[in-house]
Amino acid sequence: MSHRPVLYCTHRPGPPLDRFVDQLWYWEGVPPAHDKDRLLPGGSCGLIVNLIEDENRLYSGPDDGVVNRLPGAVLSAAYSRYFVIDTREQRANVGVRFHPGGTWPFFDPAGDELRDQHVALRDLWGSAGDTLRERLLAAPTPRAKLALLEAELLERAIRPLHRRAEVDFALARLSAAPNDHSIAMLSEHVGLSARRFTRLFTLEVGLTPKVYARIQRFQHALDCMLQSNGSDWTDVAQTCGYFDQSHFIRECRSLSGFTPTELAARRIGDSDHIALS
């Protein structure tokens, strides 16, 4: 079971960053007793800086036994399925949670080039990314660290800080009702060909509209699962637009690696963290 954090604070930036950044956050606490978490896909990206160790560890392969070691400051790009992290790193971290498509102004590679990856910040921002962790460690308080991180985003912007209306429209529709909008409908609404619309969306968000909608449907199902009895998933499947219960179970396995029953038992509260032994 997860422990209550010693300190958790957030900051929502003002314009123009609020168009791209959901929040900046600082976490300081006791790691949970289990060694690893699966993080479920949500359709957005995050910047994470480990303030205790100059390392971030990801796991893959059979039984999640293959470790991939990255520097302490990384960008977690949009994922199309779960990835596995080391819970021992959850002691003191600072980071940015971007809105879907929110990384577009700040990093040179397009979203689809970063998909399903964690990338060292030094590989994206050069010397500024290489020294960011040290500068954050030198900031005296959590709030000062968040202010430094906010200023860094403004400094590093390489594209105009405005959102593309076509992509924003599609994100809003797919996030609210992922089953109600086809690519043809969305592209017609924004006045683009389906091919052009899909390309623009994928460049900024890192996922195709179809994959993004699939992940949002799964996120809606996760919300419904909290209200379910946990034994019969038919109602969840019907409410969230799956063909039937079998379809929902297959999607759950594909995106989380677990059946719905296993997922409900291991999920940490209403978060996207799934406890592994």
Q: What is the mean pLDDT of residues 146-158?
A: 97
What was the pLDDT predicted at 231? 63
Task: Clarify whether residues 32 and 123 are in a common domain.
Answer: yes
Quote the tokens at residue 203. 């460049």
CA–CA distance, 54 with 254 (Å, rounded to integer): 32
Record the tokens describing residue 29, joined without a space. 């606490």
Q: Which of 93, 125, 156 is the last residue of a domain?
A: 156
Q: What is the pLDDT of residues 98-145, one digit of tens each?
A: 999 999 999 999 999 999 999 999 999 999 999 999 999 999 999 999
Question: At 77, which CATH number?
Answer: 2.60.120
Number of domains in the chain: 2
User: Is 146 inside a domain boundary?
Assistant: yes
- Asked whether residue 96 falls in the same domain as residue 168, the answer is no
> Over 90: is that where the pLDDT of 3 sits?
no
Q: What is the pTM of this model?
A: 0.94
Per the DSSP assignment, residues forming a β-bridge with 87 are none
| In a domain? residue 144 | yes
Answer yes or no: is pLDDT of 4 > 90: no
Edge to edge, the sheet with strand 21-28 lists: 7-11, 21-28, 92-98, 46-50, 73-76, 118-120
Contact predicate 198/26, CB 8 Å: no
What is the reported pLDDT for 2? 46
Per-residue pLDDT, 76: 98
According to DSSP, the β-strands at 66-70 and 56-60 are antiparallel
Q: Does residue 182 share a domain with residue 63?
A: no
- pLDDT tens readout for residues 247-266: 999 999 999 999 999 999 99
pLDDT computed for residue 230 by the predictor: 63
Q: Is there a single domain that holds both residue 15 and residue 151?
A: yes
| pLDDT of amino acid 236 | 94
Task: Please indicate, yes or no, if residue 2 is contained in any of the structural domains.
Answer: no
Decide which of 138, 156, 174 is a domain's last residue. Answer: 156
pLDDT recorded at residue 229: 66
Do 272 and 242 reside in the same domain of the chain? Answer: yes
Structural domain boundaries, residue 53? 7-156
97 and 136 belong to one structural domain: yes
Specify the pLDDT at position 71: 98
CATH of the domain at 202: 1.10.10.60
Tokens at residue 126, please?
């050069």
Residue 138 and residue 15 in one domain:
yes
